[in-house]
Structure 1
Amino acid sequence: MTKLLVLGAGGQIARHAVAMLSSDANIALTLFARSPEKLTQTPANATIVQGDVRDRAKLDEAIKERDIVYANLTGEDLDAQARSVIASMQAMNVKRLIFVLALGIYDEVPGKFGEWNNATIGEELKPFRRAADAIEASKLDYTTLRPAWLTDEDEVDYELTERDAPFKGTVVSRKSVADLIVKVIRSPSLHLRGNLGVNKPGTDGDKPYFM
Protein backbone atom coordinates (compact mmCIF):
# COMPACT_ATOMS: atom_id res chain seq x y z
CA MET A 1 0.00 0.00 0.00
CA THR A 2 1.42 3.37 -1.08
CA LYS A 3 0.49 6.28 1.17
CA LEU A 4 0.23 9.37 -1.02
CA LEU A 5 -0.21 12.97 0.12
CA VAL A 6 -1.56 15.40 -2.48
CA LEU A 7 -0.84 19.05 -1.69
CA GLY A 8 -3.06 21.50 -3.52
CA ALA A 9 -5.58 18.75 -4.11
CA GLY A 10 -8.22 21.20 -5.36
CA GLY A 11 -6.11 22.12 -8.39
CA GLN A 12 -7.20 21.03 -11.85
CA ILE A 13 -4.24 18.73 -12.60
CA ALA A 14 -4.48 17.23 -9.13
CA ARG A 15 -8.16 16.45 -9.62
CA HIS A 16 -7.35 14.50 -12.78
CA ALA A 17 -4.61 12.57 -10.96
CA VAL A 18 -6.85 11.79 -8.00
CA ALA A 19 -9.58 10.53 -10.35
CA MET A 20 -7.06 8.24 -12.06
CA LEU A 21 -6.03 6.82 -8.68
CA SER A 22 -9.51 6.62 -7.19
CA SER A 23 -10.05 2.92 -7.93
CA ASP A 24 -6.49 1.84 -7.10
CA ALA A 25 -6.64 -0.45 -4.06
CA ASN A 26 -2.86 -0.08 -3.64
CA ILE A 27 -3.05 3.69 -3.05
CA ALA A 28 -4.19 5.42 0.15
CA LEU A 29 -4.83 9.09 -0.63
CA THR A 30 -4.62 12.07 1.69
CA LEU A 31 -5.95 15.20 -0.01
CA PHE A 32 -4.57 18.39 1.51
CA ALA A 33 -6.31 21.59 0.41
CA ARG A 34 -6.87 25.13 1.62
CA SER A 35 -10.43 25.00 0.25
CA PRO A 36 -11.74 21.44 0.60
CA GLU A 37 -15.11 22.54 -0.81
CA LYS A 38 -13.43 22.45 -4.23
CA LEU A 39 -13.12 18.68 -3.86
CA THR A 40 -16.53 17.87 -5.26
CA GLN A 41 -15.86 14.14 -5.54
CA THR A 42 -13.90 12.31 -2.86
CA PRO A 43 -12.78 8.76 -3.68
CA ALA A 44 -13.38 5.96 -1.20
CA ASN A 45 -9.61 5.58 -0.79
CA ALA A 46 -9.12 9.23 0.22
CA THR A 47 -9.01 11.30 3.41
CA ILE A 48 -9.39 15.09 3.24
CA VAL A 49 -7.28 17.47 5.33
CA GLN A 50 -7.91 21.22 5.36
CA GLY A 51 -4.72 23.20 5.66
CA ASP A 52 -2.08 25.50 4.27
CA VAL A 53 1.42 24.25 3.47
CA ARG A 54 2.87 27.27 5.28
CA ASP A 55 1.38 25.91 8.52
CA ARG A 56 4.24 23.61 9.47
CA ALA A 57 2.45 21.85 12.33
CA LYS A 58 -0.47 20.93 10.07
CA LEU A 59 1.86 20.01 7.23
CA ASP A 60 4.11 17.85 9.42
CA GLU A 61 1.10 15.89 10.63
CA ALA A 62 -0.10 15.34 7.06
CA ILE A 63 3.34 14.31 5.74
CA LYS A 64 4.19 12.01 8.64
CA GLU A 65 4.40 8.37 7.53
CA ARG A 66 3.54 9.16 3.89
CA ASP A 67 5.50 7.40 1.14
CA ILE A 68 5.13 10.05 -1.58
CA VAL A 69 4.27 13.74 -1.57
CA TYR A 70 2.79 15.20 -4.77
CA ALA A 71 2.64 19.01 -4.71
CA ASN A 72 0.44 20.95 -7.13
CA LEU A 73 0.88 24.44 -5.69
CA THR A 74 1.06 27.95 -7.11
CA GLY A 75 1.26 31.57 -6.03
CA GLU A 76 3.61 34.51 -5.71
CA ASP A 77 5.23 32.82 -2.72
CA LEU A 78 5.65 29.41 -4.35
CA ASP A 79 9.29 29.35 -3.28
CA ALA A 80 8.27 29.81 0.37
CA GLN A 81 5.69 27.07 0.01
CA ALA A 82 8.31 24.77 -1.52
CA ARG A 83 10.75 25.45 1.30
CA SER A 84 8.05 24.59 3.83
CA VAL A 85 7.32 21.30 2.05
CA ILE A 86 11.03 20.48 1.88
CA ALA A 87 11.59 21.24 5.56
CA SER A 88 8.59 19.18 6.60
CA MET A 89 9.60 16.21 4.47
CA GLN A 90 13.11 16.32 5.88
CA ALA A 91 11.77 16.54 9.44
CA MET A 92 9.36 13.65 8.87
CA ASN A 93 11.98 11.59 6.97
CA VAL A 94 9.87 11.34 3.80
CA LYS A 95 11.97 11.36 0.63
CA ARG A 96 9.87 11.04 -2.54
CA LEU A 97 8.52 14.30 -3.96
CA ILE A 98 6.69 15.13 -7.18
CA PHE A 99 6.39 18.89 -7.74
CA VAL A 100 4.71 20.74 -10.61
CA LEU A 101 6.48 23.93 -11.72
CA ALA A 102 6.26 25.90 -15.01
CA LEU A 103 7.96 26.14 -18.37
CA GLY A 104 10.50 28.87 -18.99
CA ILE A 105 12.16 28.97 -15.58
CA TYR A 106 15.57 28.20 -17.14
CA ASP A 107 15.09 30.30 -20.32
CA GLU A 108 14.83 26.90 -21.98
CA VAL A 109 11.98 27.83 -24.33
CA PRO A 110 13.48 28.67 -27.74
CA GLY A 111 12.49 31.02 -30.52
CA LYS A 112 9.52 33.34 -30.78
CA PHE A 113 7.48 31.22 -28.36
CA GLY A 114 10.20 31.66 -25.75
CA GLU A 115 10.20 35.40 -26.31
CA TRP A 116 6.40 35.54 -26.05
CA ASN A 117 6.34 33.30 -22.96
CA ASN A 118 8.95 35.41 -21.19
CA ALA A 119 7.18 38.66 -22.08
CA THR A 120 3.85 37.25 -20.88
CA ILE A 121 4.77 35.49 -17.62
CA GLY A 122 8.48 36.11 -17.11
CA GLU A 123 8.08 37.99 -13.82
CA GLU A 124 5.65 35.39 -12.49
CA LEU A 125 8.21 32.64 -13.11
CA LYS A 126 10.75 33.93 -10.59
CA PRO A 127 9.28 32.16 -7.52
CA PHE A 128 8.94 28.99 -9.62
CA ARG A 129 12.66 29.12 -10.41
CA ARG A 130 13.54 29.70 -6.77
CA ALA A 131 11.31 26.75 -5.82
CA ALA A 132 13.07 24.56 -8.39
CA ASP A 133 16.49 25.55 -7.04
CA ALA A 134 15.41 24.77 -3.47
CA ILE A 135 14.08 21.36 -4.47
CA GLU A 136 17.23 20.44 -6.38
CA ALA A 137 19.39 21.49 -3.42
CA SER A 138 17.27 19.55 -0.92
CA LYS A 139 18.66 16.06 -1.61
CA LEU A 140 15.10 14.74 -1.67
CA ASP A 141 14.16 12.11 -4.25
CA TYR A 142 12.32 14.57 -6.44
CA THR A 143 10.70 14.68 -9.85
CA THR A 144 9.85 18.18 -11.05
CA LEU A 145 7.61 18.89 -14.03
CA ARG A 146 7.48 21.95 -16.28
CA PRO A 147 4.28 21.71 -18.32
CA ALA A 148 3.61 23.75 -21.44
CA TRP A 149 0.57 26.04 -21.46
CA LEU A 150 -2.29 23.94 -20.16
CA THR A 151 -5.50 22.93 -21.92
CA ASP A 152 -8.62 21.07 -20.83
CA GLU A 153 -8.56 18.71 -23.83
CA ASP A 154 -9.76 15.21 -22.93
CA GLU A 155 -6.60 13.49 -24.16
CA VAL A 156 -3.36 11.92 -23.01
CA ASP A 157 -0.68 12.87 -25.51
CA TYR A 158 2.70 14.14 -24.40
CA GLU A 159 6.45 14.01 -24.78
CA LEU A 160 9.24 14.96 -22.40
CA THR A 161 12.37 17.08 -22.49
CA GLU A 162 15.20 17.13 -19.97
CA ARG A 163 16.26 20.06 -17.80
CA ASP A 164 19.01 21.37 -20.07
CA ALA A 165 17.34 20.59 -23.41
CA PRO A 166 15.32 23.11 -25.46
CA PHE A 167 11.63 22.98 -24.60
CA LYS A 168 9.33 21.60 -27.30
CA GLY A 169 5.76 22.53 -28.22
CA THR A 170 3.49 25.17 -26.77
CA VAL A 171 0.61 23.32 -25.06
CA VAL A 172 -0.27 20.14 -23.18
CA SER A 173 -3.48 18.89 -21.58
CA ARG A 174 -3.89 18.82 -17.82
CA LYS A 175 -4.97 15.20 -18.21
CA SER A 176 -1.62 14.40 -19.87
CA VAL A 177 0.35 15.94 -16.99
CA ALA A 178 -1.79 13.98 -14.53
CA ASP A 179 -1.08 10.77 -16.45
CA LEU A 180 2.67 11.34 -16.06
CA ILE A 181 2.27 12.09 -12.35
CA VAL A 182 0.27 8.89 -11.83
CA LYS A 183 2.92 6.86 -13.67
CA VAL A 184 5.57 8.19 -11.28
CA ILE A 185 3.37 7.53 -8.24
CA ARG A 186 2.88 3.93 -9.33
CA SER A 187 6.57 3.47 -10.20
CA PRO A 188 8.47 5.73 -7.77
CA SER A 189 11.87 4.96 -9.31
CA LEU A 190 10.67 6.44 -12.62
CA HIS A 191 12.24 9.82 -13.49
CA LEU A 192 14.05 9.93 -10.15
CA ARG A 193 15.84 13.28 -9.83
CA GLY A 194 14.21 14.17 -13.13
CA ASN A 195 13.44 17.75 -14.14
CA LEU A 196 11.09 17.34 -17.09
CA GLY A 197 9.45 19.57 -19.65
CA VAL A 198 6.05 18.22 -20.72
CA ASN A 199 4.37 19.12 -24.01
CA LYS A 200 2.02 17.76 -26.65
CA PRO A 201 3.98 16.68 -29.73
CA GLY A 202 3.50 18.70 -32.88
CA THR A 203 2.36 21.90 -31.17
CA ASP A 204 5.33 24.11 -32.01
CA GLY A 205 4.40 27.70 -32.77
CA ASP A 206 4.90 31.30 -31.82
CA LYS A 207 2.39 31.03 -28.95
CA PRO A 208 -0.37 28.70 -27.69
CA TYR A 209 -3.21 28.26 -30.17
CA PHE A 210 -5.78 29.70 -27.76
CA MET A 211 -3.92 32.96 -27.14
Structure 2
Amino acid sequence: MPNVLVLGAGGRIAQQATRMLADNDADLTLFARDPGRLTDTPASARVVEGDVLDRDRLADAVAGQDIVYANLAGDLDVQAERIVEAMRKQSVQRLIFITSLGIYDEVPGAFGEWNRRQIGGMLPPYRAAADTIEASSLDYTILRPAWLTDTDEVDYELTHKDEPFKGTEVSRKSVAALVADIIASPDLWPRSNLGVNKPGTDSDKPSFL
Protein backbone atom coordinates (compact mmCIF):
# COMPACT_ATOMS: atom_id res chain seq x y z
CA MET A 1 0.00 0.00 0.00
CA PRO A 2 1.16 3.57 -0.66
CA ASN A 3 2.11 6.40 1.66
CA VAL A 4 -1.13 8.32 2.26
CA LEU A 5 -1.63 11.79 3.73
CA VAL A 6 -5.14 12.33 5.14
CA LEU A 7 -6.08 16.02 5.39
CA GLY A 8 -8.99 16.69 7.73
CA ALA A 9 -8.31 13.40 9.44
CA GLY A 10 -10.65 14.19 12.34
CA GLY A 11 -13.76 14.13 10.14
CA ARG A 12 -16.20 11.25 10.33
CA ILE A 13 -15.68 10.01 6.77
CA ALA A 14 -11.92 10.37 7.06
CA GLN A 15 -11.79 8.40 10.30
CA GLN A 16 -13.72 5.51 8.74
CA ALA A 17 -11.45 5.59 5.69
CA THR A 18 -8.41 5.64 7.97
CA ARG A 19 -9.52 2.45 9.70
CA MET A 20 -10.13 0.73 6.36
CA LEU A 21 -6.72 1.80 5.07
CA ALA A 22 -4.97 0.68 8.24
CA ASP A 23 -6.54 -2.76 7.83
CA ASN A 24 -4.80 -2.89 4.42
CA ASP A 25 -1.44 -1.81 5.86
CA ALA A 26 -1.35 1.68 4.33
CA ASP A 27 1.40 3.96 5.64
CA LEU A 28 -0.74 6.78 7.04
CA THR A 29 -0.04 10.38 8.00
CA LEU A 30 -3.05 11.98 9.70
CA PHE A 31 -3.13 15.77 9.43
CA ALA A 32 -5.64 17.52 11.71
CA ARG A 33 -6.12 20.91 13.32
CA ASP A 34 -7.33 19.17 16.48
CA PRO A 35 -5.71 15.74 16.91
CA GLY A 36 -7.90 15.27 19.98
CA ARG A 37 -10.80 14.56 17.63
CA LEU A 38 -9.06 11.46 16.30
CA THR A 39 -10.45 8.19 17.64
CA ASP A 40 -9.10 4.66 17.24
CA THR A 41 -5.96 6.03 15.63
CA PRO A 42 -3.93 3.16 14.14
CA ALA A 43 -0.77 2.60 16.15
CA SER A 44 1.35 2.81 13.03
CA ALA A 45 -0.10 6.14 11.86
CA ARG A 46 1.85 9.38 12.14
CA VAL A 47 -0.27 12.23 13.53
CA VAL A 48 0.52 15.81 12.50
CA GLU A 49 -1.19 18.81 14.07
CA GLY A 50 -1.62 21.61 11.57
CA ASP A 51 -3.79 23.80 9.38
CA VAL A 52 -3.96 23.26 5.62
CA LEU A 53 -3.60 27.03 5.20
CA ASP A 54 -0.13 26.88 6.78
CA ARG A 55 2.01 26.52 3.64
CA ASP A 56 5.15 25.28 5.37
CA ARG A 57 3.37 22.81 7.62
CA LEU A 58 1.36 21.43 4.72
CA ALA A 59 4.35 21.14 2.38
CA ASP A 60 6.29 19.22 5.04
CA ALA A 61 3.37 16.81 5.46
CA VAL A 62 2.99 16.28 1.69
CA ALA A 63 6.69 15.48 1.22
CA GLY A 64 7.27 11.79 0.53
CA GLN A 65 3.59 10.91 0.10
CA ASP A 66 2.17 8.90 -2.78
CA ILE A 67 -1.46 9.99 -2.36
CA VAL A 68 -3.15 12.95 -0.68
CA TYR A 69 -6.75 12.47 0.48
CA ALA A 70 -8.50 15.73 1.49
CA ASN A 71 -11.79 15.69 3.40
CA LEU A 72 -12.16 19.30 4.52
CA ALA A 73 -14.84 21.96 5.06
CA GLY A 74 -15.15 25.73 5.20
CA ASP A 75 -13.01 27.90 2.90
CA LEU A 76 -12.44 25.00 0.54
CA ASP A 77 -11.41 27.26 -2.33
CA VAL A 78 -8.36 28.60 -0.49
CA GLN A 79 -7.55 25.18 0.95
CA ALA A 80 -7.59 23.64 -2.52
CA GLU A 81 -5.16 26.29 -3.75
CA ARG A 82 -2.78 25.49 -0.88
CA ILE A 83 -3.02 21.74 -1.52
CA VAL A 84 -2.31 22.06 -5.24
CA GLU A 85 0.62 24.36 -4.46
CA ALA A 86 2.10 21.97 -1.88
CA MET A 87 1.69 18.93 -4.12
CA ARG A 88 3.40 20.69 -7.02
CA LYS A 89 6.23 21.77 -4.74
CA GLN A 90 6.75 18.23 -3.48
CA SER A 91 6.14 16.49 -6.84
CA VAL A 92 3.17 14.48 -5.54
CA GLN A 93 0.50 13.81 -8.16
CA ARG A 94 -2.40 11.71 -6.82
CA LEU A 95 -5.20 13.58 -5.06
CA ILE A 96 -8.61 12.47 -3.78
CA PHE A 97 -10.73 15.48 -2.85
CA ILE A 98 -14.23 15.62 -1.33
CA THR A 99 -16.59 18.45 -2.28
CA SER A 100 -20.41 18.37 -2.36
CA LEU A 101 -23.36 17.62 -4.55
CA GLY A 102 -24.89 20.65 -6.21
CA ILE A 103 -21.75 22.58 -7.12
CA TYR A 104 -22.66 22.42 -10.83
CA ASP A 105 -26.41 22.80 -10.32
CA GLU A 106 -26.46 19.18 -11.47
CA VAL A 107 -29.14 17.95 -9.05
CA PRO A 108 -32.46 17.67 -10.93
CA GLY A 109 -36.09 18.06 -9.97
CA ALA A 110 -37.66 18.83 -6.63
CA PHE A 111 -34.65 17.54 -4.72
CA GLY A 112 -32.41 19.90 -6.65
CA GLU A 113 -34.62 22.84 -5.71
CA TRP A 114 -34.67 21.72 -2.07
CA ASN A 115 -30.90 21.24 -2.06
CA ARG A 116 -30.33 24.75 -3.46
CA ARG A 117 -32.53 26.23 -0.73
CA GLN A 118 -30.66 24.34 1.97
CA ILE A 119 -27.02 24.70 0.95
CA GLY A 120 -26.87 26.67 -2.29
CA GLY A 121 -25.32 29.70 -0.61
CA MET A 122 -22.51 27.58 0.83
CA LEU A 123 -21.44 25.97 -2.45
CA PRO A 124 -19.44 28.66 -4.34
CA PRO A 125 -16.14 27.92 -2.51
CA TYR A 126 -16.70 24.20 -3.09
CA ARG A 127 -17.17 24.82 -6.82
CA ALA A 128 -14.09 27.05 -6.88
CA ALA A 129 -12.07 24.31 -5.18
CA ALA A 130 -13.10 21.78 -7.84
CA ASP A 131 -12.25 24.27 -10.59
CA THR A 132 -8.78 24.85 -9.12
CA ILE A 133 -8.07 21.13 -8.94
CA GLU A 134 -9.34 20.42 -12.45
CA ALA A 135 -7.21 23.25 -13.84
CA SER A 136 -4.09 21.72 -12.29
CA SER A 137 -1.87 19.00 -13.72
CA LEU A 138 -2.63 16.71 -10.76
CA ASP A 139 -4.03 13.22 -11.12
CA TYR A 140 -7.21 13.93 -9.17
CA THR A 141 -10.47 12.22 -8.28
CA ILE A 142 -13.11 14.65 -7.02
CA LEU A 143 -16.05 13.12 -5.13
CA ARG A 144 -19.41 14.87 -4.67
CA PRO A 145 -21.39 12.90 -2.07
CA ALA A 146 -25.13 13.18 -1.54
CA TRP A 147 -26.50 14.05 1.90
CA LEU A 148 -24.68 11.89 4.41
CA THR A 149 -25.99 9.27 6.81
CA ASP A 150 -24.34 7.18 9.53
CA THR A 151 -25.91 3.95 8.24
CA ASP A 152 -23.56 0.99 8.65
CA GLU A 153 -23.51 -0.07 5.00
CA VAL A 154 -21.50 0.18 1.81
CA ASP A 155 -23.96 0.80 -1.02
CA TYR A 156 -23.30 3.44 -3.64
CA GLU A 157 -23.45 4.32 -7.32
CA LEU A 158 -21.57 6.97 -9.27
CA THR A 159 -22.47 9.69 -11.75
CA HIS A 160 -20.07 11.74 -13.84
CA LYS A 161 -19.74 15.52 -13.89
CA ASP A 162 -21.73 15.86 -17.12
CA GLU A 163 -24.59 13.64 -15.88
CA PRO A 164 -27.58 14.51 -13.66
CA PHE A 165 -26.98 13.61 -10.02
CA LYS A 166 -28.92 10.58 -8.76
CA GLY A 167 -30.46 9.87 -5.36
CA THR A 168 -30.57 12.03 -2.27
CA GLU A 169 -28.33 10.35 0.32
CA VAL A 170 -25.39 8.03 0.91
CA SER A 171 -23.66 6.63 3.98
CA ARG A 172 -20.37 8.02 5.22
CA LYS A 173 -19.13 4.45 5.29
CA SER A 174 -19.85 4.13 1.55
CA VAL A 175 -17.83 7.26 0.75
CA ALA A 176 -15.00 6.02 2.98
CA ALA A 177 -15.02 2.65 1.21
CA LEU A 178 -14.83 4.35 -2.19
CA VAL A 179 -11.87 6.44 -1.01
CA ALA A 180 -10.15 3.32 0.34
CA ASP A 181 -10.75 1.48 -2.95
CA ILE A 182 -9.22 4.32 -4.97
CA ILE A 183 -6.19 4.45 -2.67
CA ALA A 184 -5.75 0.67 -2.99
CA SER A 185 -5.98 1.00 -6.81
CA PRO A 186 -4.65 4.48 -7.65
CA ASP A 187 -5.34 3.98 -11.37
CA LEU A 188 -9.07 3.93 -10.57
CA TRP A 189 -10.99 7.05 -11.69
CA PRO A 190 -8.06 9.25 -12.79
CA ARG A 191 -8.88 12.91 -13.48
CA SER A 192 -12.53 12.17 -12.71
CA ASN A 193 -15.27 14.15 -11.00
CA LEU A 194 -17.93 11.85 -9.57
CA GLY A 195 -21.26 12.15 -7.79
CA VAL A 196 -21.81 9.51 -5.09
CA ASN A 197 -25.24 8.34 -3.93
CA LYS A 198 -27.08 5.31 -2.62
CA PRO A 199 -29.14 3.66 -5.38
CA GLY A 200 -32.91 3.88 -5.03
CA THR A 201 -32.96 7.00 -2.84
CA ASP A 202 -34.58 9.35 -5.37
CA SER A 203 -37.02 11.61 -3.55
CA ASP A 204 -37.85 15.25 -2.88
CA LYS A 205 -35.36 15.25 0.00
CA PRO A 206 -33.30 12.77 2.08
CA SER A 207 -35.33 10.24 4.04
CA PHE A 208 -33.94 11.37 7.40
CA LEU A 209 -35.14 14.99 7.01
Q: Does the pair score TM above 0.5?
A: yes
Structure 2 CA distance for aligned equivalents of residues 164 and 102 of structure 1: 15
Q: Where does residue 152 of structure 1 map in the other structure?
A: 150
In the alignment, residue 38 of structure 2 is paired with which amino acid? Answer: L
Code of the aligned partner of 1:109: V
Structure 2 unaligned blocks of 5 or more: none
Deviation digits for residues 19-41 of structure 1, max 9, x if unmatched?
1112223x100000000001121
Q: What CA distance in whole angstroms lies between the structure 2 residues aligned with 1:40 and 1:103? A: 27
TM-score, length basis structure 1: 0.98
Listed one character per residue, the Cα deviations across residues 105-133 of structure 1 (whole Å, up to 9, x for unaligned) are: 00100000000001110010110000000
CA distance in 2, matches of 1:118, 1:34: 30
CA contact (8 A) 1:22 1:44 kept: no
Task: State the Cα RMSD in Å.
Answer: 0.7
Matches within 5 A, 1:115-130: 115-130=113-128
In structure 2, what is the equivalent of residue 40 of structure 1? Answer: 39
Partner of 1:17: 17
* 1:10 alignment partner AA: G
Alignment partners' CA distance in 2, 1:56 and 1:15: 24
The aligned residue for residue 204 of structure 1 is 202
Identity in percent: 63
Structure 1: segments with no counterpart, 5+ residues: none
Matches of 2:66 and 2:39, distance apart in 1: 25
Does residue 3 of the first structure (1) align with residue 17 of the second (2)?
Answer: no
Partner of 2:54: 55
Displacement of 1:210 = 1.4
For this pair of structures, how many residues does the alignment match? 209
Question: CA offsets, 1:77-127, max 9 Å, x none?
Answer: 110011000000001110000000000000100000000001110010110
Asked if the contact 2:154/2:171 (under 8 Å) is kept, the reply is yes
Deviating 4+ runs (over 4 angstroms)? none
Q: Report the Cα offset of residue 139 of structure 1.
A: 1.3
Q: Deviations over 1:25-67 (max 9, x none)?
A: 3x10000000000112110221100000000100000000100
- Which whole-Å CA distance do the structure 2 matches of 1:106 and 1:142 have between them? 18
- TM, length-normalised to structure 2: 0.99
